Homo-oligomer: A and B are copies of this chain.
């Protein structure tokens, strides 16, 4: 009998969108025992969480959803009564959720500590993105540094890593990488104002970036539009 090799655990932030689905596929391909974390922060496109569950199941990941009520803070078109814009504007857009990635990575860090995981993956991307400050490489490096100061593991000498494998990829590259790793993009939900069935508007920033990715990669767009 072969003994089962114990895989190292990793926590992967999985929103239900295409980027985090590809990130989960990459973590699995790297051999991690994957623990997918979704954060229910009061986003209006709540159907993305159903997408997250489907993606986690597809890749055999343990899945957990943690609630944090960012609606009580407001300040974003994704959590407050501010309309989602349907064309690009200069600067940081109103869909930016204050400190969202910091909060989600902090929760991932907490779960990683409970699991004894030293690796956290997130799908942030600094190329075809919406211009959010917390999607930049220097933010990811800063969080990794903090993680090693903040935790029992860090204090006791373990080295925590924040992986952002998509950070320098174009949307077309992300599509290609996902297809190589058998990601079923039809089950993912990127739209900021997806309906209850997860169907996309086709007009918001997230929809435009996603559609352009399929066009640039030269593959058919499997997104379900309403």
Contacts and interface: CB of A to CB of B under 8 A. Distances in A.
- Interface of A, helix, strand, loop or mixed by DSSP: helix
Contacts of A70: 66, 107, 110
Nearest to A74: B114
A151 B98 contact: yes
- Number of identical protomers: 2
A99 B74 contact: no
A165 interface: no
A118 B225 CA distance: 41
A47 to B, nearest CB: 20
Given A101-B150, A154-B133, A64 B72 contact: yes
27 contacts: A64-B72, A67-B69, A68-B107, A70-B110, A73-B110, A75-B110, A96-B152, A98-B110, A98-B114, A98-B152, A99-B106, A99-B107, A99-B110, A99-B151, A100-B110, A102-B150, A103-B107, A106-B106, A133-B151, A133-B152, A133-B154, A134-B149, A139-B146, A142-B149, A143-B146, A145-B146, A146-B146
